[in-house]
Every structure is written in structure tokens, then in C-alpha cells.
Structure 1
Amino acid sequence: MTKIADLRSQTADQLSDELLKLKKEQFNLRFQAATGQMEKTHRVSEVRKDIARISTLLREKRTVA
């Protein structure tokens, strides 16, 4: 889980890169769940919440700029 203070210090480009990485991880986790290979089931909700945090910060940075 990513701390919000760490995310706020990043630029919009860095946040976009992190968002892309998390969306890829989310896809892989869904694929693992579908095939029954998932070991860390709690990671699904963590990734989903991190995606929401980063999306919110990106939206904030776009409205402020």
C-alpha cells in the first residue's frame, strides 16, 4: 500500500507511470484469480485502492494546474 504523502511528492508523469504499472498488476491479478493461481488475495483490494488514490491525485493536479 502506498502512502499518500509519498504520492503527493511525485510529478504527474511519475503518477501516470505508477498508474499504468498498477493497472497491469491488476490485470495480472485478475488473470491469476480466474485460473486459480492467486496466492495473495488481499493484494487485489490494495491495488484497487492505490489506483483510486493515484487517479484522485492526478485529477487534483490537473485542476490546480
Structure 2
Amino acid sequence: MKAKDVRLQTADQLETELANLKKEQFNLRFQKATGQLENTSRVRQVRRDIARIKTIAAQKRAADQG
């Protein structure tokens, strides 16, 4: 997921995407704990996507207020 794509989304879409990524992160952690995780790089990718969405959402909120 690119930052450019995230910036084009609305606040509601960002919240939905964030919720989906958090569910995926939980599932990946569960798979890792049980030894079933095959794509270990996906954990890092999901974590960074979550941070990217949170950052851009905060920037949008700040722009709306000021």
C-alpha cells in the first residue's frame, strides 16, 4: 500500500482499512505463535501499513482543524 493511495481515501475508508489490517495482524501473530506462519515478511508489511494509515489520518484531522 502506497502513501499516495492512502491519501486519496476518505476518513471512513481509512478506519475500515485500519480495522482490516489490525485483524490481519492479529491472525498473523496467532499463526506465528502456532508455527503456521509461512510469509514472515507480511508481519512487517502490515505493521508499516498500519503506521502509514494512522499517520495520514492524523495529518488529515490536523488539516481539518487548522
TM range (shorter): over 0.9
Structure 1 residue 26 corresponds to structure 2 residue 32? no
Q: How many residues align?
A: 64
Q: How does 1:8-19 map to 2 (within 5 A)?
A: 8-19=7-18
- Aligned partners of 1:29 and 1:53: how far apart in 2? 19
Q: What residue in structure 1 maps to residue 5 of structure 2? A: 6
Q: Which letter does structure 1 place at the counterpart of 2:63?
A: V
Identity percentage over the alignment? 62
Measured in 2, the distance between the counterparts of 1:58 and 1:20 equals: 13
Q: For the aligned residues, what is the CA RMSD?
A: 0.4
Secondary structure of the corresponding residue to residue 40 of structure 1: coil
Unaligned runs of 5+ in 2: none
**C-alpha distance in structure 2 between counterparts of 1:58 and 1:6, whole Å:** 13
Hey, what does 1:38 align to over in structure 2?
37
Measure, in 2, the Cα distance between the counterparts of 1:55 and 1:3. 13
Structure 1, unaligned runs of 5 or more:
none
